[in-house]
Structure 1
């Protein structure tokens, strides 16, 4: 039996579809992790919607994994597989589609958990527009990948800058390597990803903070 519902949380994984696990490399690992995380959180009582980009016009717009956990595919750019460069270009469309989905469904997500830098970009844009708590998980750091490079490609610069912005702008950053960056307030240094139990505690704490902030804003007005 599922636990009492604790509220809505959006997991955003723009380039790695949790309902399609046949991709390769890092995206495949991220897809599997986000799906497992979403299902685990749903079993603990969260209403979890996992948002990704539609890559095939024949795909279902929604895939229900279990009670309280589903994948939602948004239209952002062409409904086809895109390179990282092209995906970066359609991120504003993804933000627009996400906001439109919220308006149409009547669901507001007080907690948004983004995965990898492309999704982090989306989360930061949403945080500027809405009163939310943003959690971000790095799945691979561009600063690690390009630390010895003599020249950094334009997209790599965008990745590194977005990762820094997530470090400074997110309410919680997860899965950082135990180096200087992990000392930033709100960051957790972990060898690997956070567990469902750890996230459950974190989510409830952030939701309580959001509740206090909301009523503080209301009282001022």
Structure 2
């Protein structure tokens, strides 16, 4: 359930309950704008996630930011982690909350782990029907289903956390007819360019890849081009989404 109505043009924290676990949402932009859900990487609501949310809000989109690190951590305790089968239902709740005026289907924009979870959400038909399209930024093949403090070492090792995982390559063929766009850095230190190219080989049309010449996973030395490619990807989703 939503704890408060999503509104306001500046960032406004809101809470949502997913299967008994409270999550914080970060709301940007005009409530009547086209809805977009931005799912962060496993570093939390920092860096590229907020940047994307602010960019899209400035263009008139109603953006709901979702902290994927906190989401995974809330379902991780001892040997228990998030189950892949439960995730689409959680995203369906998010989609319903973000749909806003006119109950329009939101576009999912995911950063790294958040991109993987956005693809995973399409594995349930009811959730898939509520999604207009997916933009994966730095989309990896393998994505973790849990998060605990010791997993932070992966920020240094650039390896996948020692948690259960799922493969995007194994499920991405089922995304169609929803359009899937990917934006990738030429020098991504976590996800090599060849990896996203391989993943997209498994996807059906409509699909498209944008490659940005940048030095890292966060596009930190070329955000201006990243911003342009993101807006192009959103426009492409709008043009190719099922009616």
TM-score (norm 2): 0.51
> Which sections of structure 1, spanning at least 5 residues, go unmatched?
17-25, 56-75, 147-152, 215-221
- The residue that corresponds to 1:118 in the other structure is 117
CA distance in 1, matches of 2:173, 2:209: 8
Structure 1 counterpart of 2:152:
none
Over 3 Å counting, the alpha-carbon distance change for 1:129 and 1:182 in structure 2 is: same
* SS of the residue 1:186 aligns to: strand
Query: How far off is 1:44 after superposition?
Result: 2.6
Give the helix-richer structure, 1 or 2: 1
Which has the greater radius of gyration? 1
2:59: which partner in 1? Answer: 44
For residue 11 of structure 1, report the CA deviation from its aligned partner: 2.5
How much has 1:54 moved relative to structure 2? 10
Give CA deviations for 1:30-83 in whole Å, capped at 9, x if unaligned.
Answer: 63311111101211332222234796xxxxxxxxxxxxxxxxxxxx89xx7333
Aligned CA distance change for structure 1 residues 54 and 96 (closer, same or farther; 3 Å): farther
Q: Please name the residue that 2:81 is paired with.
A: 86
User: C-alpha separation between the residues in 2 aligned to 1:110 and 1:118?
Assistant: 15
Matched, 1:200 2:226: no
* Unmatched tracts of structure 2, length 5 or more: 1-28, 144-157, 185-190, 201-206, 220-225
Pairing 1:101–2:97 present:
yes
The aligned counterpart of 1:10 is 36
Match of 1:136 in 2: 136
Distance 1:4 1:118 in 2: 25
- 8 Å CA contact 1:135–1:173 kept in 2: the answer is yes
Matched pairs, number: 168
2: CA distance, partners of 1:140 / 1:48:
23
Deviation at 1:137, TM superposition (A): 2.4
Report if the CA contact (8 A) 1:53-1:94 is conserved: no
2:165 equivalent to 1:165: no
* Structure 2 SS opposite 1:197: helix
For residue 177 of structure 1, what is the aligned residue in structure 2?
A: 192
TM-score, normalised with respect to structure 1: 0.55
CA distance in 1, matches of 2:30, 2:98: 23
Name the SS for the 1:179 alignment partner: helix
Q: Which residue of 2 aligns with 1:155?
A: 164
CA distance 1:133–1:127, change in 2 (3 Å): farther
Q: Structure 1 residues 123, 97: closer, same or farther in 2, change over 3 A?
A: same
Task: Tell me if the contact between 2:38 and 2:53 (Cα under 8 Å) persists in the aligned partners.
Answer: no
